[in-house]
Structure 1
C-alpha cells in the first residue's frame, strides 16, 4: 500500500492492520452511543448497533468499481502478507476500542453503553473491498463464532468458487444484485473482470444449497438501475433467498463524485418497487426503515432475530 493511500484511509477514520484489514466506526454506532438512534439492522435482525464491529479483511480487493460505492476506489495493489485470523481480529478490536475511547468522557454516552461497545458481539464483514478474497475467511468466521459473535458477510457475488468452498458460513450472507441484466450491470458495477455477470449467476444458483440464512440486497439508484422489477424478480426467484432488502442509494462518500442528489430514490419509490417485487417472488414487506430508505421482505413473518435462530433454516431449501 502506498503512503498516500494509507494517509487517505487514516484521514477517513479507517484503522489498518497489515495493509489489508481495516476497521471503521459506523455512523449508526456513533448515533446509538450518543443519541440512542440505531441502525436498521437492529430493527430487522436484533443485532445491537453499539456492539457491532464494522470491518474488512480485504480493504482493497474487489472485482467491481460500482458507481454507487462510497469507498475509495482504483488504488489496487498486491497483498503479500495476509494476517492470520485470530491476530487480525484481536488487532481490529484493539483499533475499535481506541476509536471509541473518546465516548468514555462524553456525558451523552452511559458507562454501560461504553463498556458494551468495548466488547463487540457482532461482526459486519463488509466495510470495504470484497471479503471473500481473504484466503482465511472460513477460519475468521470460525474464530468469530468461537467468541460467540454473530456474523454478517456481504459479497458482490463474483466469487462463487470461493463462496462454495467455505467450510464455515456466516450466520447471515448478503449477496448484492445491483442490476437487473448484464447490460446495466456493466454500466453500474463497472466490473474489472470479463465474466462478472456469469459469475454472479453462478452464485445465485449456489445460494439455495448453502446452509445459512441468505439475503439478496438491491442497491437502487434512480435513473441508473432502478426499475425493471420483472427482471429483478426473475433473478431473486433464481437465488431463492430467505430475505430480500431493497435499499435506496444514499448520496455519501466517493459516490458524490459520480452521482447526484437526484440519484436517490425516495422511500415511497422504494416501497412501491418492493410491493411490485413481492408479487413476483411471493414475499411481503415485514420491516421498514424510512430514514435508511430500506425495507425487508420475506415469504412469511419470520423471526429474523439472528440471535434467536443463528444457524437454523427458515424453511426447506431447494438443493
Structure 2
C-alpha cells in the first residue's frame, strides 16, 4: 500500500483546519522517543503540496514538514515531493492544476514501475530527497528499505526536492518582466469571468428591470457603467474573492505595462461590443440601448488593484477628458499611492475587518506590515477633498463582531459614506472555505448597520438596496434641511475637474460642490427598498429568495 498526502499551506505556513490535528500528531511522533525512529518503517508514501510562492517565507511549508516527519519515522518516499503553485506567474506549468497534473503523471508512471518490480534502494544521502535512475534518465526518489539505518543527519534530507529541481529557465525568469499574454488560458478565463460579472446590472437596466446599488446610492446609470482595471494583480488574497484566486498577486508592479490610452480605448470598445450584443433582444429598451453605447462611468474595481498601475493618474485624467466619471476602489495597502492620487469622482477603500487578526484572516495580505499600511491608507483617505467611501463586506462568522473597532477605524478616515454589503457567494473554491452559510440575510445586515450607526454620532443610514443586500451610511453634512443629497451631479464634477486641471491643481473643490438630491425611493425606509419605480421589478417564477446581490 502507498499513502499519498495532498496538503495545502494556509496562513502563516500553517496547515488547513482539517489537517491541523494530523500535522500536530505527526510532528510530535517524529520527535517522541516512545515511538522510535522506525515507527513507520515499511510504509511507502508520496507528498504533493499546494501553496503560493508570493508568501516567500511560508511557501509549501506544510508539505515540506510532512515529508520531513514521515522520513524521520522511517517511511519510504517513492518519488519526489511535488509542489503546486497558486501564483500563476511562477507556477512551473502555468497553474496549480497543471502542476498537479504533471506530478500525477510522474506518480502514475512510478506506480507502474513499482508494480513491475523496478525498484532501486535509495542510499539515503540525497539532500533533495530524490535519487537519479540513470537507466531511465529520470530524477525519481526510490523506495528505500534501509534509509532509516543510514546515519544521516536530519539536515541532509530535508529540503524540498522541488527546490533542487528548479529549472534554469525558472531561475532566468526570476524577477523579470512578465507579459500578461504569457499567462494564456488563465487570463482568458479571467476575461470570461469578467464578462459574466459585468452584465449583472447593466443588462437589467437595458431591459428596464432596475439598476445596481450604485444607481440607488449615487445615481449611476448602470447600463453606461464600464467596469475595468489597468491592473489584474492584487496585494491580497481575500477569502471571499469572486475570482477564486486565478489572478496574479504581488506587492509591486512587475508586469509589462500597456499605455493608459490603449487600455481605455480597448475597454470602451469592449463595453460597446457587449452592449451591441443586445441589439434586438426581447425586452431591451431602444433608448437605453442607445445610451449604453456611450460610456458615462468607469468603475475601477472588481478585478485587481488599479492603484498599483504606475500610470493610474494619467488613466484617470484620460477618463475625465472623455467626460467619464471615475469610481476607484483600493484594498488599503498602498497609502502613498492614495496620497498622490489625482481627484476622482469617488474613492473607495475596502475595510474588510476591524482588527489586525481578523484582517489577516480575511484578506490574507502579502505585505508583512499590512496593518500599518491599512491604517495609513485610511488616514490618507481622510486627507482627500473629494467623495470618499468605506466599503464593508460582511461575512457571517468572520467579521460581524467588534463594532467598536469598526467605529474607531471610521473615526480615523472620516469617510463621507460607508457602504455595508453582505458577502456575495461565488461558488465553491479550493482557495476558500466560504459557503452560503457565511452570507448574511438582509435583515442581519440592517441590524449590523443600525448597531454601527449608534456608535457614530456623525452618520446616519441614508439609503438601502435590498436586492444587493446593501445599505449606505452617510455623513450628516449630506443631509441638507432634512433631505439627503447622496447622489452625484456628474456634469458639475466634470466642470470642476476641468477647472482643477486647467489651474494646475490650485483650484481645489470638495464633495459638497457636486452633490445632488437623493430621490425618495432610494431613502432607507421607503417602500421601494431601493428599487427605481421608473423600472419594472422582475420576479423569478420559482420565487426563490435571491440573496446573491449585484
Same fold (TM over 0.5): yes
Query: Per chain length, whose mean CA-contact separation is higher, i.e. which structure has more relative contact order (CA < 8 Å, sep 6+)?
Result: 1
Query: 1:141–1:151: 8 Å Cα contact kept in structure 2?
Result: yes
Q: Is 2:179 aligned against 1:6?
A: no
CA drift of 1:13 comes to 4.9
Counterpart in 2 of 1:164? 339
**TM-score between the two structures when normalised by the length of structure 1:** 0.90
Give structure 2 stretches of 5+ with no counterpart.
Answer: 1-179, 497-508, 514-550
Work out whether 1:29 is the aligned partner of 2:210.
Answer: no
Aligned-residue CA RMSD (Å) = 2.1
- The reply on whether 1:57 has 2:254 as its aligned counterpart is no
Does the CA-based 8 Å contact 1:25-1:96 persist in structure 2? no
Name the counterpart of 1:313. 510
Q: Secondary structure at the match of 1:105?
A: coil
Give the stretch that moved more between structures: 199-208 or 5-14. Answer: 5-14
User: Does the residue aligned with 1:58 lie in a helix, a strand or coil?
Assistant: coil
Q: Distance in 2 between matches of 1:212 and 1:285?
A: 20
List, as ranges, runs of 4+ consecutive aligned residues in structure 1 with deviation greater than 6 Å.
Answer: none
Q: Give secondary structure in 1 for the equivalent of 2:242.
A: coil
Deviation (angstroms), 1:253:
5.0
Of 188, 192, 199 in structure 1, the residue corresponding to residue 373 of structure 2 is: 199
Separation in 1 of the partners of 2:188 and 2:383?
Answer: 42
Structure 1 gap ranges (5+): 15-22
Q: Find out whether 1:70 has 2:246 as its counterpart.
A: no
Matches within 5 A, 1:1-319: 1=180, 2-14=183-195, 25-59=198-232, 61-73=233-245, 75-76=247-248, 79-166=254-341, 168-253=342-427, 257-282=432-457, 283-300=459-476, 301=479, 302-307=484-489, 310=493, 312-314=509-511
Most deviating of 241-250 and 28-37: 28-37
Give the structure 2 partner of residue 18 of structure 1.
Answer: none
Paired with 1:124 and 1:107, the residues of 2 have a C-alpha distance of 27
Structure 2 SS opposite 1:295: strand
In the alignment, what sits opposite 2:110? none
1:24, 1:96 within 8 Å by CA — same for their partners in 2? no
Q: In the aligned structure 2, how far is the partner of 1:285 from the partner of 1:100?
A: 34
TM-score, normalised by the number of residues in structure 2:
0.53
Distance 2:295 2:429 in 1: 29
For structure 1, which segment, 177-186 or 86-95, has the greater mean C-alpha deviation from structure 2 after superposition? 86-95
For residue 24 of structure 1, report the CA deviation from its aligned partner. 6.2
| Structure 1 residue 98: Cα displacement | 1.6
1:266 to partner: Cα distance = 1.2
Change (3 A) 1:153 1:75: closer
